[in-house]
Structure 1
Amino acid sequence: MTGLVTRQQLRATETLHPNKMTVISLCLPLLAVLMQPTLCLYNCPTQYERSPDSSDLTVNCGTTLITLEINLCTAQWAGFNSSTMALNGNHNITACQGSIDTSVDPPIIRYQLPVNSSDQNLCRQSLQIVDETPDPTGPFSNFLTIQSVIITGFIETNTANPESGLISYSTDLYYHFSCRYPLEYLINNTQIMASSVSVSTSDNNGSFADMLIMNVFNDSDYGNLLVVPPSGMQLRSRVYVEVKAVNLTGNFYVLLDQCFGTPTAYNVSQTEQHNFFTGCSVDSRATVDTNGIYKFARFDFETFRFVQHREQAKSSIYLHCILRLCEPTKCQELLNACNNRKKRSLTPFGQEGSNSATLSIGPLYTSREDGPAVETYSANVASQKDDLNVTGLVVGVVFGSAASALLVLGGWFVLKKFYYAGYLPRSFN
């Protein structure tokens, strides 16, 4: 029985052998697929059977979305697929995992990342604003620095569950990317097309000059307008000046950049002028009372005379102020720079700019004084008087000598006449 059974079993085995070989031949490919599933999921060319590199990553820095595309074939050859890779390490968030697109060759894994840093950005990224030096030959060459936004991130495989065992034939994938967005732009060459029929273009400049008034007062309350007497004001008298904006549209304050006086009416080539103040620098005999904090500005000074008027009974003074209209915050910003001694070299105001205007008033007349103020010129007068006295003395001496000589000669002729008449003795001779 044993041998029979053995022979029967042998016959059964020989009978079934062809079918068994067929089944085995069909299972081997299936077994290969089960053993290496990632190698057979997608039809990838043999040229991508290599380790992934940086050329497998494509980055598109859009205005609202950053789109990332990774070569699926090289990732597959390395032993990974879309479920094992995620943006910025967020493997548990579905939105941070990629989607597969097989409509392109080679197929890709696509990721999208919003360009923002808000809480709604589930995948997150690093967003940093940096200062950069502009191109010296570019349109921003006049800028010291310009700013840019740099967004950085990465795509990596899941390392939370490390492989077991001593060795592995797969690699870890890590793709780093960055997008740079400049914040300074030049918008030019904007073309506007209009109909060639009945086209009218008008560009006009406005001015607030008619709403600016300069007045001069004789009291610190700025209540009484100054009235100059016909003979002129006395030297060292206090004069109060107010520059005011009236009926001005908008919230603008008056900021005096510079106020000065000239001996004649103002002109652009004026070289002789006395500065009451220029920006942060104020003359010792002038006071800036209000400036850059209201719709009016005020200062005062002591009257003086210009030396070129020394021969005149009155010296004329023409007042001028260079001012600007600025928003309150801008005015305060300029004034604060005066309080910072380190910024004195960068005078915030004090020079006429494109948004400045010049107001003038005058002339004011100051009179010469009969006291110490004119003693400087008394030496010449005294010298002239001394010269006249010396000349008179010399003339008097000459005339006195001539008169004495005539008297002597006259007396001699009288005595001679009496001698020849016999009235005088001969011994006289």
Structure 2
Amino acid sequence: MTLYLCLPLLVVLIQPALCLYNCSSEYERIPDNSDMTVVCGATTITLEINLCTAQWSGFNTTDLALNGNHNTTECYGSIDTSVEPPIIHYQLPVNHSQNNPCRQSLQIVDEAPDPTGPFSSFSSIQSVIITGFIDTPRSDQGLISYSTDLYYHFSCRYPLEYLINNTQIVASSVSVATSDNNGTFIDTLKMSVFNDSDYGYPLVVPSTGLELRTRIYVEVKAVNLTGNFHVLLDHCFGTPTAYNMSRSEQHNFFAGCSVDQMTTVTSNGLSKVAWFNFEAFRFVQHRNQAMSSIYLHCILRLCEPSTCQELLSACNNRRKRSVSPFGEESSESATVSVGPLYTAEERPYAAAYSNDVASETEDLNVTGLVVGLVFGSAAATLLVLGGWFALKRFYWVGGLPHAFN
């Protein structure tokens, strides 16, 4: 009788706790790639694990922990039964600081750019790769086990080179359960224009456009950026229309070490904010328009402070300033643009000035003609009077009477 009572109890003890949550029989299997979802955010990496397959394998939520931290409650997941199937939810900060109890691996790598992408003029780009895992305690007791050790590996890859605008950033992972996802820092990047060197007053463009040679101050900054990265502007330029891949109609403010003479770079690569300023100009193709439009664009990279300093120091070590950017653009980059800004085209009235000169010249010519006529008439009168006196004197001397006899 005791044997019959123990057998059901034994079955309950060895059977995984499938009845704890509403899991269908289709999840009575070992985990695979589809059981994990990874979202690579700018500040937080979010992971979701299929609770049913983990439960079928004989584990509960307290057995699964981030990066092997099974004694740290902050590294456990939370259960969400509002979805089907239920999931274990994890959140991991992107930063690698000591304040992160579930620290992950963070690595900066150099990569070759895409030769067909917008960064084709660069020599290299960098990316930060963040890797981690969720696992269960290893089975180390007994001779055999009917439960499998679970190991979910994930990886998020963030490029550090950006051309601020449309971007696609690929995040990849290699693990027993693999998930490929996109992550981007583009939402943390911002470009603004100001009318003062303290960057306190946003630029207000009048309805008639900015006057030419007006000094425009540009700020590119990273807002709420996770990690110790600085903003380094590689290449900033202006175009008459919205950005496209054509480089035939663009004015370079600076590209790498080469800076336009009307542009001043006041801070670059030293913090999460970069500043430069330039004088307003107009595009010649707008010569028949009342105003000229300018769109601003910047290719930038996020780099570690030491890497930024190395790139900036290279400019000082070159005898001849390079016209190429610090690095290379890639297809996994973004574009930040501002515009359009409008500049007024003022036309000088040189023709009116030329007509005045012509009138003065004509007045001088008329005056000379009148003076010449007066002197000419006086000379003719004197000549006639002189001839008459000479003829009269000759007559009285006696020359004429003999001639008439």
Work out whether the TM-score is over 0.5.
Answer: no
- Highest relative contact order (Cα 8 Å, sep 6+), 1 or 2? 2
Larger radius of gyration: 1
Q: What range describes the TM-score normalised by the shorter chain of this pair?
A: 0.3 to 0.5
